[in-house]
Amino acid sequence: MKKTGIINSEISAVVANMGHMDWLSIGDAGMPVPFGTKKIDLALDKELPSFIDVLKNVLKEMKVQKIYLADEIKGQNPDQLAAIKELLPDVEVAFVPHSQLKKDLAKTHAFIRTGEMTPYSNIILESGVTF
C-alpha cells in the first residue's frame, strides 16, 4: 500500500502512465465528459471532495508545465482562479472558451470528477518532465 501521495489507484495509475505533454483533467460535478474519455468519479456529495483538494493531491505527484482553463472563470469564478494560480504560480496558463475546454476533454487520459459546485471549476493539466 502506498504511504503518501495519490492513494486512489485509478488516479495513481493514470499519472504514472503519463508522458511529456500528456493531458489530465479535473472538474466540477456538472462537467460533461465525452464518450470514450476515462471518467474517475470521486464525487460523494455537494463540495465533497472539492476541486482544489483534488488538484492539490494530484500535484503531489504530477509535474505540470501548462494548464488550460475556461476563459469564463475570470468573471464567473475569480476566487477559484486565484486558488489555482496560488497552487501553480510559475505554470503557463492558457484560457480557452468553455465550449473548447469541453471538447478538449476528449484528448485527456482521464477526467477526474469532483463534488465541486462552483462554475467553471475545470482544468486540463499538461504534464511536464522532471529532468
Clarify whether 109 is annotated catalytic.
no
Tell me the β-bridge partners of 26.
112, 123
Secondary element (H or E) of residue 8:
none
28 annotated ligand-binding residue: yes
Chain-centroid distance of CA 117 in Å reads 15
120 annotated ligand-binding residue: yes
Task: Identify the active-site residue in 7, 16, 17, 20.
Answer: 20
121 annotated ligand-binding residue: yes
Chain-centroid distance of CA 13 in Å reads 15
The CA distance from 128 to 131, in Å, is: 9
Binding site membership for substrate: which residues?
Answer: 28, 98, 120-122
Binding site membership: which residues?
Answer: 28, 98, 120-122
Which residues are the active-site residues? 20
